[in-house]
Amino acid sequence: MDKIKESDLYQPIKEYLDSLGYDTKGEVKDCDITAIKDDELIVVELKKGFTIELLYQAIERQKIADSVYVAIPLSKRGYKNPHYKDMVTLCKRLEIGLILVGFTTNGKAQIDIAVNPEPTKPIRKNIKKRMAVISEHNGRIGSINTGGVNRRKIMTVYKEQSLTIARILAENGELSAREIRKFCGYEKTSSILRMNYYKLFEKIGTKGHCTYRITDIGLKMLDLSLIHISEPTRRS
């Protein structure tokens, strides 16, 4: 396989966590991967190599997650790498999990959980940041973002919901905020329409008797968007 990028680690790890019953998504609130099952939150940070920066990131994520893993490609020397035992020992000391991702010559990935985190003492959680991550994760329609991609624009919940509203207006014409909310079910429908950060909508009429329609910018953004709308967006 050619030179491995951080983003190459995302899909095999996502598939592995999905197979364990987790809902897995990429690039959520600066976390490369978040995985949620019931009340458990796992965070995985991806890097091309085992670095101090990676460990710092993992330690920060321990403040919000139940378990934190770092994931790196398995080196060409594999488990004969002289630093392998040191990496395992350090991760165990820091109570951080270690995932090694190996690639065959045809690009097939193999996952090895070299270390499972086993916390021996409670770490004080930042509840506000934890809930922000969980809220962002759960608000996503699907897993559009790829973890480990730093220079690509990220699809946030706000942008995803804005595009959903734009799609509703594109397919149904002018609608009131109440009518739009019946389609999408978003509690913050009125707030999204009012803020209109991406200039996707245009307000028609006066307060109390207004409707909204999609703008030319909104139509262009829908054409460029890969968003999949699972809810009905047309009048029945």
Residue-level pLDDT at 142: 58
- pLDDT band with cut points at 50, 70 and 90 for residue 225: low
CB 109 within 8 A of CB 103: yes
- pLDDT band with cut points at 50, 70 and 90 for residue 143: low
pLDDT tens-place string over residues 166-216: 889 998 999 999 899 888 888 888 888 988 888 899 999 876 689 999 998
Residue-level pLDDT at 230: 44
The overall average pLDDT reported for the chain is 83
pLDDT tens-place string over residues 106-129: 778 889 999 999 877 778 888 998
**Between these two residues, 199 and 80, which has the higher pLDDT value?**
199
**What global pTM score does this model have?**
0.65
Residue-level pLDDT at 162: 85
Angle at alpha carbon of residue 31, lines to 46 and 140, rounded to 5° = 120
Q: Cα(32)–Cα(147) distance, rounded to whole angstroms?
A: 4
Residue-level pLDDT at 71: 94
Q: Please say if the pLDDT value at position 236 is more than 80.
A: no
Q: Please state the length of the chain.
A: 236
Name which of 10-19, 54-63, 142-151 the model is least confident about. Answer: 142-151
Question: In the block, which residue shows the tokens 């139940």?
Answer: 66
Q: Which residues pair with 67 in a beta bridge?
A: 42
Name which of 139-143, 155-159, 217-221 the model is least confident about. Answer: 139-143
Domains of the chain: 6-139 (3.40.1350), 157-224 (1.10.10.10)
Q: Please say if the pLDDT value at position 81 is more than 50.
A: yes
Q: Which amino acid is at 155?
A: M
Name which of 29-33, 39-43, 73-77, 173-177 the model is least confident about. Answer: 73-77
Q: Which amino acid is at 99?
A: I
Question: In the block, which residue shows the tokens 């559009």?
Answer: 144
